[in-house]
Amino acid sequence: MRTSKPARAGQYLALLAYLVFLAFPFLWLVSTAFKPPRELASLHPTWIPKDPTLDNFRQAFDEQPLLRAAGNSLLVAVSAAVIAVVIATPMAYVMARHRSFLSRAATGWVVVSQAFPFVLVIIPLFLILKNLHLINALPGLIMVYVVWALPFALWMLVGYVRAVPREMEEAAAVDGAGRLRILVSVTAPLLTPGIVATGLFAFVTAWNEFFFALVLMKSPERQTLPVILTHFLGAEGVADLGPLAAAAFLATLPSLLIFSVIQRRITGGLLAGAVK
């Protein structure tokens, strides 16, 4: 179909407006992170720092225990991602291949859990973990993140399992392979890319999570990166802008990197889950 010239121009204009809307807050964050205090206090803030500096980054590490927080986040997110994938994959397999009551109930739960208001779950979780002495303990947070990552992990994985042709499994069965053998040596290898993508997504989810960490991790030594970031805002919201921007920028990098790799796969998973 042909599009007239003015229409084309309009389309490019709209695209430009969108790109600007999408990019400018992030560019401003980056710009702020590299500005010396003098330029931050200037009455005429500029887009590109005239005198770029890394001082904000150094200061950010001095002001708050960023490294320890990043370590906590890393430990929690990696553990949660690995555990979630390990336990979700077999369940997703059953959900994809069987039409039993259980798999239907699980599918229903996956949909419903997308809509949980966390406040109704967090108070009991807080009480349960308190009784188990797991408040302020990373294992408690890991457990919560595993369950929290499960619905979407199941959703993605069910899609991947469905993409593996049944015939391959049946052929192996005819050759006399047992059920476990088939799972391990036929299905699992074909699922590997999907499992990796799901794990990475679970990692990002846990790395970014704030609400549970805020409620469950009270002592600063145990807090994760997003919670520590809010400390930069100060009590009255009077923030030291440079270090704040620097720390926020650093905290985003891992998610951005991972997401740029798996973005396409997630879209597929999201859509498959949303309409099928």
Partner 1 sequence: MTTATTVKRPATDRPARAPRGAGPPGDRGAWFLVLPALLPILVLSVGPLLYGIGLSLTDAQSGRTEPTRWVGALNFSDLLHDTLFWDSFRIGLLWAVGVTVPQFLLALGLALLLNQNLRFRWLARALAIVPWAMPEVVVGIMWRLVYHPDAGVLNQTLADLGLGDGRDWLTGLATALPAVIVVGVWAGMPQTTVALLAGLQNTPRELHEAAAMDGAGAWRRFRTVTWPAIRPVALAVTALNFIWNFNSFALVYVLTNGGPGGRTRLPMLFAYEEAFRYGQFGYAAAMGCVMVAVISVLLALYLVGRLKGADEQ
**Are 63 and 246 a contacting pair, CB within 8 Å?**
no
**66-97 and 188-208 are packed helices; what angle lies between their axes, rounded to 10 degrees?**
140
Nearer to partner 1, 43 or 67 (CB): 43
Distance CA 210, CA 213 (A): 5
Q: Does 211 bind partner 1 (CB under 8 A)?
A: yes
Contacting residue, 74, 82, 138, 173, with partner 1 by CB under 8 A: 173
Between residue 109 and residue 168, which ones bind partner 1 under the rule CB under 8 A? Answer: 109, 111-128, 143-144, 146-147, 150, 154
**Binding track, positions 57-76, relative to partner 1; x by CB under 8 A:** --------------------
Contacting residue, 38, 54, 62, 90, with partner 1 by CB under 8 A: 90
Q: Does 263 bind partner 1 (CB under 8 A)?
A: yes
Question: Which tokens sit at 233?
Answer: 């805002």
Distance CA 115, CA 94 (A): 24
Q: Does 47 bind partner 1 (CB under 8 A)?
A: yes
Q: C-alpha distances in angstroms, 193 versus 64, 76, 163, 182? A: 37, 22, 12, 18
Number of residues engaging partner 1 in binding (CB under 8 A) = 109
Nearer to partner 1, 58 or 210 (CB): 210
Q: Does 185 bind partner 1 (CB under 8 A)?
A: no
Question: Quick one: residue 162, left, alpha or beta (phi over 0 = left, psi -120 to 50 = alpha)?
Answer: alpha
Q: Does 106 bind partner 1 (CB under 8 A)?
A: yes
User: Nearest 5°: CA angle at 122, between 149 and 206?
Assistant: 30
Contacting residue, 38, 54, 185, 230, with partner 1 by CB under 8 A: 230
Stretch that binds partner 1, among 51-59, 61-69, 191-199, 234-242 (CB under 8 A): 234-242
We find the least distance from the C-beta atom of residue 51 to partner 1, in angstroms, to be 16
Between residue 5 and residue 44, which ones bind partner 1 under the rule CB under 8 A? Answer: 11-12, 14-15, 18-19, 21-26, 28-29, 32, 40-41, 43-44
Q: Does 208 bind partner 1 (CB under 8 A)?
A: yes
Distance CA 237, CA 213 (A): 20
Give the residue carrying structure tokens 């590109």.
48
Q: Give the helix, strand, coil percentages of the chain, each rounded to 5.
A: 80, 0, 20
